[in-house]
Amino acid sequence: MGRPMPLEGPLEDAFGRRIRNLRVSLIDRCNFRCTYCMPAEGLEWLPRDEILTFDEIERLVRLAVTLGIDEIRLTGGEPTLRPQLPELIARLSAIPGLKSLALTTNGFLLRKLVPDLAAAGLTRINVSLDTLDAHKFAAITRRNAIKAVLDGLEALEEVPSIHPIKVNAVAVRGFTTDDDILAFAELARRKPYVIRFIEFMPLDADGHWDRMQVLSGDEIKRIIEAVYPLVPVRVGASSTARVYRFADGSGEMGFINPVSQPFCASCDRIRLTADGQLRTCLFSIDETNLRDPMRIGAPDSELELLLRHAIWRKELKHHINEGPSFKRASRSMSQIGG
């Protein structure tokens, strides 16, 4: 018989993984329509009253932090579309015990927001950008917006308190070319951005993902290394990225390889959807409703128990590489909060 679920102490699952990282989706809507994420016409959006309020988000984050979560990442959908985002960031960054407060954004609205985000206490940021070619950018996001994103990145260079500036690029075979990859390597050498390639996962709302479209991190790394030799950089055990620096000087690149080199064994993440459902894996097919108990008056002790039970049952691993036994997640990436 396995160990019993602990009723106190840090959050852990039945496989002994300690949970430290909570990703909170603030909104399911988005101003882009990336082909690997959403259909051109968008999705059916959540009604406003189903979305957690700032008070509800703050209460759940506060509880999670008392239980040992020390990293929060705000995401979506597009989190910068959530009205009064800096106010929420200020409220969360004031929670004692929280070590890292991060934001994942497509960067479109970033330039104007940067000073307010920094003043509110944001400490880390990931900007998604899949190509530096304006035409290809428009094709993949279905928006003519690369300049706004690059301007947003430049604005971040002015605020040392938000550091490092990470750029995440989803690589898709048949779309991402050697030229795209080398342009990113050159950007990483020229600018203080840590660029990370992410493998395409079967989380697109269209359900078009095909294994053949996965351009692996190792393939990308070989393309870069043929021109710019790389040296491994030591990272923490729960890091999702394999990180390298350029052998001849500064600049870092990372490879997040969830399909070709799954990192489930060291996963320390859980996710809260915009409508208050706790997911213990990107590929979860069930969720734990925290919103409704909270709305009918559950005390923190009850919410804690719900959290502990859900986390205890966290999925061992994803099944992307197991052929027909793979079942798609119950929601797509933008609805989960990637």
Site for ligand SF4 in 106-145 (CB under 6 A): 106, 128
Q: Is 200 in the site for ligand SF4 (CB under 6 A)?
A: no
Taking the complex as a whole, how short is the minimal distance between the CB of residue 330 and ligand SF4, in angstroms?
Answer: 17
Note whether 278 binds ligand SF4 by CB under 6 A: no
Which two three-digit tokens encode residue 179? 């030229």
Spatial separation of the C-alpha atoms in residues 271 and 262, rounded to whole Å: 18
State which of positions 34-73 bind ligand SF4 (CB under 6 A).
Answer: 34, 37-38
The dihedral built from the CA positions of residue 78, 81, 86 and 90, taken in this order, carries a sign that is: negative
Q: Residue 33 binds what, of ligand SF4, ligand SAM, none (CB under 5 to 8 Å, by partner type)?
A: ligand SF4
Specify the length of the chain in residues.
Answer: 338
Q: How far apart are CA 210 and CA 184, in angstroms?
A: 24
Residue 77 binding ligand SF4, by CB under 6 A? yes
Q: Is residue 202 a contact residue for ligand SF4 (CB under 6 A)? A: no
Q: In 3D, which of 305, 31, 259 has the Cα closest to residue 142? A: 31
Q: Is 257 in the site for ligand SF4 (CB under 6 A)?
A: no
76 versus 276: smaller Cβ distance to ligand SAM: 76
Alpha-carbon distance values, 71 to 37, 50, 82 (Å): 25, 25, 20
> Cβ(253)–Cβ(196) under 8 Å?
yes
Contact criterion met (CB below 8 Å) for 282 and 271: yes
Whichever of 33 and 291 has its CB closer to ligand SAM, that residue is 33
Helix (H, G, I), strand (E, B) or coil at 219: helix
Which residues are at the interface with ligand SAM (CB under 6 A)?
30, 36-37, 75-76, 78, 104-106, 128, 168, 170, 198, 200-201, 203-204, 333-334, 338
Q: State the binding partner of 75 from ligand SF4, ligand SAM, none, CB within 5 to 8 A by kind.
A: ligand SAM
Q: Among residues 306, 318, 299, 333, which one has the least CA distance to residue 261?
A: 318
Between 166 and 221, name the residue whose CB sits nearer to ligand SAM: 166
Calculate the CA 301 to chain-centre distance: 28
Q: How far is the CB of 235 from ligand SF4 (least distance, A)?
A: 24
Size of the site for ligand SF4 (CB under 6 A): 12
* Residues near ligand SF4, by CB under 6 A: 30, 32-34, 37-38, 76-78, 106, 128, 334
